[in-house]
Amino acid sequence: MSSRASLIFDLHCDTPHNIKSRQFGHVIPEHLFREHYRGAIFAHFVEPGKHFPFVEAVTLIMSTLAYIHEKRRIHVIRTHQEISKTETNILLGVEGGHIFDNTFKQLETFYDLGVRVFTITWNNSNALAHAALDSDKKGLTRRGKDFVRELNNYDVVLDLSHASTRTALDVCEISDNHVIASHSCVRALRPSFMRNISDRALKAIAQKDGVVGVNFSEYHLGGHSVADHIDYIKDNFGIGAAAIGSDFDGIDDAVIASPQGISKFEKELGERGYTKAEIEKVFSGNFLRILRKTVGSKQ
């Protein structure tokens, strides 16, 4: 296998809160390029229960945009055509339907700011959909179905991490957009933890040519390694469904402690028999396939 490190497109980093406070943890954005990050989704999350979650989310996004604008070797993209080979490419996301469930005008505002990844739920259910930790057998609400159909008019990616199995199935049934689960370990390897993604949801996402990004949380992994979860996805749903969604800056029990540590993970996959081409698919190629087909395709 070539010694050249595979480029990474990380599907979930909670770095925006650290950008706002200027107190960094796993990720220092301007260092990502030298850490072989081709790109990352920066998730903008607002705690449930905030009085004005939409305003807080917009403020957080504006903080991210201002910070990235000041730095070298990192920039924000809105379409696949904007991907740079000389910078780390940041795709903006918002996490949790409670942020944008009041009016479709909020969706338009996020889209105009450059948001291209919409995570339907967090751990809490909301006016649009149910979360896995809350009610795994309940899915999209009537309002949520209208919201997902409205999103069909936009070139965005729907993120089903945190969502209930029923929500995932509902979204896959009615959405014309590509879908991912950006930072979800496999429930079959840790059956007692409902936050992990079920085989039914995994199958539905794979059938829509989507991907599941395995996160690095020791608790989510449940005694298994990140490679074990990648193996499970590959063996049961195909190599094209596997990706990486570290959840850096959103977890405090990362088994891979930093972006630099991913090189050791690449070595582990190689020792398990993954080819260089397969590793590159998992690290970035599979998600870039989705980005190529989705973001920018409706403009």
Amino acid at the residue 101: D
Model pLDDT, residue 100: 86
Mean pLDDT, to the nearest integer, of 56-70? 97
What band does 295 get if pLDDT is binned at 50, 70 and 90? low
What band does 1 get if pLDDT is binned at 50, 70 and 90? very low
Backbone angles phi, psi at 214, to 5 degrees: -75, 130
Mean pLDDT, to the nearest integer, of 28-46? 97
Q: What is the distance between the alpha carbons of residues 243 and 182, in angstroms, rounded to a whole number?
A: 8
Residues 10 and 33: beta-carbon distance below 8 Å: no
Q: What is the distance between the alpha carbons of residues 234 and 278, in angstroms, rounded to a whole number?
A: 10
What is the set of domains in the chain, with CATH numbers?
A: 8-293 (3.20.20.140)
Per residue in 170-181, pLDDT tens?
999 999 999 999
What band does 294 get if pLDDT is binned at 50, 70 and 90? confident
Q: Which residues contact 259 (CB under 8 A, 6 or more apart)?
A: 8, 10, 26, 27, 31, 32, 35, 36, 37, 246, 248
Residue 193: closest CA among 224, 215, 222, 169:
222
Q: What dihedral do alpha carbons 132, 134, 136, 139 form, nearest 10°?
A: -90
Per residue in 97-107, pLDDT tens?
999 877 778 99
What integer best gives the mean pLDDT of the chain?
A: 95
Structure tokens at 262: 């991913």
Residues 114 and 78: beta-carbon distance below 8 Å: yes
Residue 40: closest CA among 278, 241, 284:
284
Q: Is residue 48 predicted with pLDDT exceeding 50?
A: yes
pTM of the model: 0.96
Q: What is the distance between the alpha carbons of residues 225 and 232, in angstroms, rounded to a whole number?
A: 11
List residues bridging with 39 in a β-sheet: 9, 89
Backbone angles phi, psi at 167, to 5 degrees: -60, -45
> To which residue do tokens 């969706």 refer?
107
Structure tokens at 91: 């795709």
Count of Cβ atoms closer than 10 Å to residue 280 Cβ: 17
What are the residue ranges of helices labelled H in 26-184?
53-70, 104-113, 142-151, 165-174
Model pLDDT, residue 298: 55
Helix or strand or coil: residue 86?
Answer: coil
